[in-house]
Amino acid sequence: MKIFIISFLFVFSVAGIVFCQSELTTDTKMDSKGIPANTSFGLLPGEIEIIGNPNPPFNPDWMGTDIKVYDGTTTNINKRELDLKLGKDGNLYLAMCINNTSFHGIRCYRSTNSGLNWTLIRSVSGTSNAWYTGLSMLVVRNHLTNNDSMRVLIFFTHTLTNNTNDDATLRMFSFLGNGAGASILATIDEPTTGKQYCWPSAVTDAALVSITPSVGVALIEYDNNSGNFYRIKYFFMPFLSYNVWTEYSAYMILGGLNWPSAAFASFTNTTITYIATEFRNNNASQIRLYGINFSGPSGDWSYDAVTTNTSYHCIEPVLTIPQTKPACNEAIISYIRTTTYGATDGVACYSYTNNHSTYTQYTLSNSQSSRFTWIASDSSRATNDYCLAIYGDFDSLNVKRGSPLNMGTQYSDRTNNYIPSSARPVCAIYKNGSMKRSAFAYFGVESGNPITGVYFDSENLPTNVKNTEGSVYSYELSQNYPNPFNPVTYINYSIPKSGFVKLSVFDILGKEVATLVNSNKPEGSYEVIFDASRLSSGVYFYKITAGEYIEVKKMSVIK
């Protein structure tokens, strides 16, 4: 066990120029925004920070294409260079590693309307020989109800060895969720000579505590000389103290561990960090689940053998644990099962336990072409649709949403772009207001190589909203056309003055099934293109609320 204190630098800007002043601090007293009073920002030589972006590089097109959040190329190093989270403020956050000829660094975008629009809120970049090679993001709130205390913490690996991960260090980039105020950038730990850190995976108790949350980060240390993934490291930070971390290590004598995926779990008398890993040896790669105290292990690390059949290789596990009170009894781990390591006959699988003792294996698809999988869960389990799994090859992404015992219907080929083998898509499932939403993000290729951007898609989103010309003198909601329709129809509405507009679709039972508009609009006439390809045949109602104006109309889907 090692306890160490981190040195930061303070950054401020005038007219877009970044200035740095060195300042060593050990004081962890919090200010009103949840930032340690004397904590400051630490940039490496040649590294700069960008706050906000007045011209987000995207052009949403909801008719047949996904939202393009980031427009540009990148070279992926470690496959896990993307993360998607929902904050308690109801906003979505999307973080990514970008390495190209003009930018090497981390970008973080925020959406305040469930993914319809995205804004770059923070980024940090380094010199051309600096590579940002893997990340894991947390979004936490320091105050029980104050959304201004929302903080984004991005843990990433970083190297100064061009286009490799050699000697990669573990670093943290943290800032307020609204993009205001100072940021915190720190090097948490550096590996010993000849080693590198890979695949950070962060956990927090934020979902289950009403005080300032704590944070843990698991990763793998890799030996550059022998090529062995030989130990897990775990770092713990209590109460967002930022500058004090405790390090724990678990050595493995035989085989190697890689691809760690961590999740927090709470029980009656203890809190646990579970870490799913791929245990690789000469016979077969299997999935192990380690369990340690959230604040750090007190002895040897114990594990469960999630998969045991040595006839297969099980690789790239992703762990999710529904964050429920008072206990998190469930764990779901997705992975790819192949006949030999590196084979292209992958079957997308997951293992499930509700007692952290016995594990049952399920297949997401019998197709032997899956190359990736990701899984997420929601804390709201009132209905049996709190798990989301994505999987597929690099030409398509398939989606299933349900419970661990019944993951439901497969929705095939949800993406509009090719998915490169160098990076893994990520997903999220959450309840925002009255709507349950499934979402995913991925590095994509529109045509040829290289990567052309980062893309996002979600359930229950509108298709096209455009402003039409002409003066408006009254509120009006027009009948959709065509009606009945399959699967696309047009809805027009007018508002005589600027204000907040919500346009939603409901089924015959009154359940909201789509939100078409949910934002401030200037006065004018609008046309919304609604795609009901994911809805079944039947009668639906669409309702507009704009100020005191409310109107409802009926439409029919016929398939």
> Domain locations in the chain?
252-414, 464-557
CA–CA separation, 387 and 404 (whole Å): 7
Q: Of 198-207, 243-252, 533-542, which gets the smallest average pLDDT?
A: 243-252
> Three-state SS for 468?
strand
- pLDDT of 546 reads 92
Q: Is the dihedral of CA 85, 89, 90, 95 positive or negative?
A: negative
pLDDT at residue 136 greater than cutoff 90: yes
What's the half-sphere exposure (Cβ side, CA atoms, 13 Å) at 30? Answer: 15
CA nearest neighbour of 513 among 484, 475, 482, 539 = 539
- pLDDT of 439 reads 87
pLDDT at residue 209 greater than cutoff 90: no
- pLDDT of 144 reads 58
- pLDDT of 85 reads 93
Bridge partners (DSSP) of residue 242 are: none
- Where does residue 387 rank: exposed (0-12), middle (13-18), buried (19+ CB within 10 A)? buried
CA nearest neighbour of 295 among 245, 256, 341 = 245
- pLDDT of 163 reads 60
CA nearest neighbour of 528 among 468, 449, 484 = 468
pLDDT digits (tens, 9 = 90+) for 387-421: 889 898 878 888 888 888 888 877 766 677 788 88
Q: Please indicate whether residue 430 or residue 398 has the higher confidence score (pLDDT).
A: 398
pLDDT digits (tens, 9 = 90+) for 79-108: 899 999 988 888 899 999 998 888 889 999
DSSP state of 190: -
DSSP sequence for 139-195: EEESSSS-GGGEEEEEEEEEESSTTS-TTPEEEEEEEETTS-S--EEEEEE-PPTTE
Q: What percent of the chain has pLDDT over 70?
A: 79
> Mean pLDDT, the chain, as a whole number?
78
pLDDT at residue 323 greater than cutoff 90: no
Task: Report the length, in residues, of the chain.
Answer: 559
pLDDT at residue 54 greater than cutoff 80: no
Rounded to an integer, the average pLDDT of 521-538 is 84
CA–CA separation, 171 and 184 (whole Å): 10
Equal CATH topology for 252-414 and 464-557: no
CA nearest neighbour of 62 among 386, 342, 460 = 460
| Cis peptide bond upstream of 60, omega within 30 | no
CA–CA separation, 90 and 108 (whole Å): 16
Q: Please indicate whether residue 372 or residue 518 has the higher confidence score (pLDDT).
A: 372
CA–CA separation, 374 and 284 (whole Å): 21
> Three-state SS for 208?
coil
Distance of CA 345 to the CA centre of its chain: 27
- pLDDT of 28 reads 29
Q: Please indicate whether residue 335 or residue 162 has the higher confidence score (pLDDT).
A: 335
What's the half-sphere exposure (Cβ side, CA atoms, 13 Å) at 312? Answer: 21
- Residue 297, φ and ψ in degrees, nearest 5: -70, 150
**Longest Cα separation, the chain:** 77
CA nearest neighbour of 60 among 70, 46, 48, 72 = 70
Mean pLDDT comparison of 50-54, 421-425, 428-432, 472-476, highest-scoring range:
421-425
| Cis peptide bond upstream of 487, omega within 30 | yes
Band (pLDDT 50/70/90 cuts) for residue 448 is low
- pLDDT of 15 reads 26
- pLDDT of 407 reads 87
CA nearest neighbour of 466 among 548, 518, 521, 515 = 521
CA–CA separation, 159 and 47 (whole Å): 13
The residue whose two tokens read 């639906």 is: 540
- Residue 238, φ and ψ in degrees, nearest 5: -80, 135
CA nearest neighbour of 199 among 92, 41, 317, 297 = 317
CA–CA separation, 89 and 178 (whole Å): 10
Q: Please indicate whether residue 395 or residue 111 has the higher confidence score (pLDDT).
A: 111
Predicted TM-score of the model (pTM): 0.75
Cβ(215)–Cβ(262) under 8 Å?
no
CA nearest neighbour of 543 among 511, 496, 520, 521 = 511
CA–CA separation, 257 and 286 (whole Å): 10
Band (pLDDT 50/70/90 cuts) for residue 289 is very high
- Residue 521, φ and ψ in degrees, nearest 5: -130, 140
Rounded to an integer, the average pLDDT of 518-546 is 86
Tokens of 282: 């000469």
Q: Residue type for 35, please? A: I
Q: Please indicate whether residue 242 or residue 348 has the higher confidence score (pLDDT).
A: 348
Which residues, 6 or more positions from 100, have their beta carbon under 8 angstroms from its beta carbon?
Answer: 72, 73, 74, 75
pLDDT at residue 490 greater than cutoff 70: yes
Rounded to an integer, the average pLDDT of 276-300 is 83
- CATH code for the structural domain at 464-557: 2.60.40.10
Band (pLDDT 50/70/90 cuts) for residue 383 is low
- CATH code for the structural domain at 252-414: 2.115.10.20
- pLDDT of 352 reads 93
Exposure string over 394-410, b if 16+ CB within 10 A, otherwise e: eeebbbbbbbbeebeee
Q: Of 72-76, 78-82, 441-445, 510-514, which gets the smallest average pLDDT?
A: 72-76
CA–CA separation, 133 and 56 (whole Å): 23
Q: Please indicate whether residue 307 or residue 256 has the higher confidence score (pLDDT).
A: 307
Q: Please indicate whether residue 96 or residue 524 has the higher confidence score (pLDDT).
A: 96
Band (pLDDT 50/70/90 cuts) for residue 488 is confident
pLDDT at residue 182 greater than cutoff 80: no
